[in-house]
């Protein structure tokens, strides 16, 4: 019988309640699927910090690194200045255990309410792959002339090619794993299917402003895409991503993005799938120890006693369910700046020959110009 050693960190706020219920589910699963659990609880969090002044004691990372997985409740305490526990526990573990992926499924389950009008489980079912160890989260930066009228504060978005590449590869693999030729992503057009596409990966960036960091992401994205011919590539600026997550969530299959954008868009995603009490996240080190946690459970409004569901611990990297294809599906955006036939009819205004991003979907149409059409729909 398989046996798994799991470190349990209930943490702060709603964490202990959610973890207690989650453990009941884990135990039920262990009985049903015949594996053994060895759970060890740690008291890392706000209360311990307030009484000892310590976030993670010496040796904690090495110790936690010996487990099969870590089960975390929530980090963040109203009595502790923001940043101390988050950086000292949550981010410290993500970084030290090199959990470089934060995998956050956005999946609306049947019977769960969403604030998105007219959308249901068929439309809200995608995965966000958030890079989890770089970007603005590295803490690179500082102050100068602090406390003066000319004080300067700098915080840098730092990425190297290695980090970007390993995250993108994980995202392409996720897209590949979610679908197959016999079960393609339902948003693909007939043309995509005829070209052998089975899934879609959207890069969420800000290439129009962050012209260094997201240029690196974009170049690497299209280079790696060559190795995944069955994955359709797609690009969205982060602000547009937020629009489509609300208006046309069915346009997404897998989204990959940097750490900060991933943090922000997954709170939005959580709300569309029924709220923070539902959303799960996995801090994944594919070759090491991973840590599973709810999204944003430490937020102040979600104190002990608030409405949280342990089910959000249960969805994670192998959450790959996907089925039906919408007949005549959206077939919306193609690679940046290139207009395909499907978009021709609805997306380009014949008068000015502009190509419009995200112009068409089952839910309707809207326009966001990205550039002149270079293909079949030049001005008539
Ligand atoms: C999350 C949280 C954390 C983050 C905070 C608590 C540091 O918002 O897991 O999304 O920003 O990553
Ligand atoms: Mg967050």
Residue spans of the domains in the chain: they are 332-380
Mean pLDDT, the chain cut into blocks of 10 residues (380 residues total): 96 93 94 97 97 97 98 95 96 98 98 97 98 98 98 98 98 98 98 98 98 98 98 98 98 98 97 91 98 72 51 40 31 35 36 40 37 38
Q: How far is the CA of 207 from the centre of ligand 1 (A)?
A: 24
Q: 263, 281, 292: which to mutate for ligand 1, most atoms within 8 A of CB?
A: 263
Ligand 2 centroid to Cα of residue 294, in Å, is: 10
Is residue 88 in contact with ligand 1, taking CB distance under 6 Å? Answer: no
Task: Using the mean position of ligand 2's atoms as its centre, give its distance from the Cα of residue 297 in Å.
Answer: 9
Q: Report which bound ligand comes closest to the CA of 299.
A: 1
Separation in Å, CA 116 to CA 119, 128, 249, 307: 6, 18, 9, 20
CA of 27 to the centre of ligand 1 (A): 28
- The verdict on the CB of residue 90 being under 6 Å from ligand 1 is yes
**CB 250 within 8 Å of CB 123:** yes
Of residues 149, 119, 184, 160, the one with CA closest to residue 362: 119
CA dihedral 201, 260, 317, 187 (to 10 degrees): -30
Pocket of ligand 1 contains residue 12 by CB under 6 Å: no
Would you say the CB of residue 86 lies under 6 angstroms from ligand 1?
A: yes
pLDDT of residue 79: 96
Ligand 1: atom nearest CA of 102 is 9
Residue nearest to atom 1 of ligand 1 (CA): 296
Cβ 263 under 6 angstroms from ligand 1: yes
- Ligand 1 near 267 CB (within 6 A): no
Contact 148, 291 (CB under 8 A): no
**Ligand 1 neighbourhood includes 171 CB (under 6 angstroms):** no
Alpha-carbon torsion angle 66, 68, 71, 72, nearest 10: 40
Nearest residue (CA) to ligand 1, atom 11: 263
89 lines ligand 1 (CB under 6 A): no
CA 133 vs CA 55, 318, 372: distances in Å: 19, 21, 37
What is the pTM assigned to this prediction?
0.81
pLDDT score recorded for residue 302: 52
Q: Is the distance from the beta carbon of residue 280 to the nearest atom of ligand 1 less than 6 Å?
A: no
Q: How far apart are CA 271 and CA 319, in angstroms?
A: 19
Interaxial angle between packed helices 213-225 and 161-178, expressed in degrees from 0 to 180 and rounded to the nearest 10: 40
Number of H helices, E strands in the chain: 11, 16
Cα 141–Cα 147–Cα 153 angle in degrees, nearest 5: 20
Q: Whose CA is nearest to atom 4 of ligand 1?
A: 263
Q: What is the pLDDT of residue 27?
A: 96
- Cβ contact 332:360 at 8 Å: yes
Q: Is 276 in the pocket of ligand 1 (CB under 6 A)?
A: no
């Amino acid at each position: 019988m398989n046996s798994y050693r799991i470190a349990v960190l209930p943490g702060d706020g709603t964490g202990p309640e959610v973890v207690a219920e989650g453990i009941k589910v884990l135990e039920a699963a262990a009985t049903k699927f015949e594996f053994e659990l060895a759970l060890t609880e740690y008291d890392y969090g706000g209360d311990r910090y307030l009484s000892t002044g310590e976030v993670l004691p010496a040796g904690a990372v090495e110790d936690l690194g010996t487990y099969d997985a870590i089960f975390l409740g929530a980090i963040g305490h109203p009595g502790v200045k923001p940043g101390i526990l988050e950086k000292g526990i949550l981010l410290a573990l993500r970084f030290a255990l090199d959990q470089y992926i934060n995998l956050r499924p956005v999946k609306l389950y049947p019977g769960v309410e969403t604030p998105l009008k007219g959308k249901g489980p068929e439309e809200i079912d995608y995965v966000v792959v958030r890079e989890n160890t770089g970007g603005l989260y590295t803490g690179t930066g500082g102050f100068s002339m602090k406390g003066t009228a000319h004080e300067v504060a700098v915080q840098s978005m730092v990425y190297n090619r290695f980090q970007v590449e390993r995250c993108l590869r994980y995202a392409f693999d996720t897209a590949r794993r979610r679908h197959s030729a016999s079960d393609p992503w339902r948003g693909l057009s007939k043309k995509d299917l005829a070209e052998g596409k089975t899934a879609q990966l959207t890069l969420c960036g800000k290439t129009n402003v962050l012209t260094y960091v997201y240029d690196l992401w974009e170049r690497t994205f299209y280079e790696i895409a060559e190795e995944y011919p069955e994955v359709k590539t797609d690009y969205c600026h982060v602000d547009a991503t937020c629009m489509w997550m609300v208006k046309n969530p069915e346009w997404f299959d897998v989204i990959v993005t940097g750490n900060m954008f991933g943090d922000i868009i997954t709170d939005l995603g959580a709300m569309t799938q029924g709220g923070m009490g539902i959303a799960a996240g996995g801090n994944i080190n594919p070759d090491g120890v991973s840590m599973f946690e709810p999204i944003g459970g430490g937020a102040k409004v979600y104190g002990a006693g608030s409405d949280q569901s342990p089910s959000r611990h249960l969805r994670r990297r192998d959450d790959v369910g996907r089925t039906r294809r919408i007949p005549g599906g959206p077939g919306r955006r193609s690679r940046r700046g290139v207009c395909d036939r499907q978009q021709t009819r609805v997306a380009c205004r014949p008068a000015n020959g502009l190509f419009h991003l995200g112009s068409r979907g089952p839910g309707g149409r809207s326009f966001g110009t990205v550039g002149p059409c270079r293909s079949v729909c030049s001005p008539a």
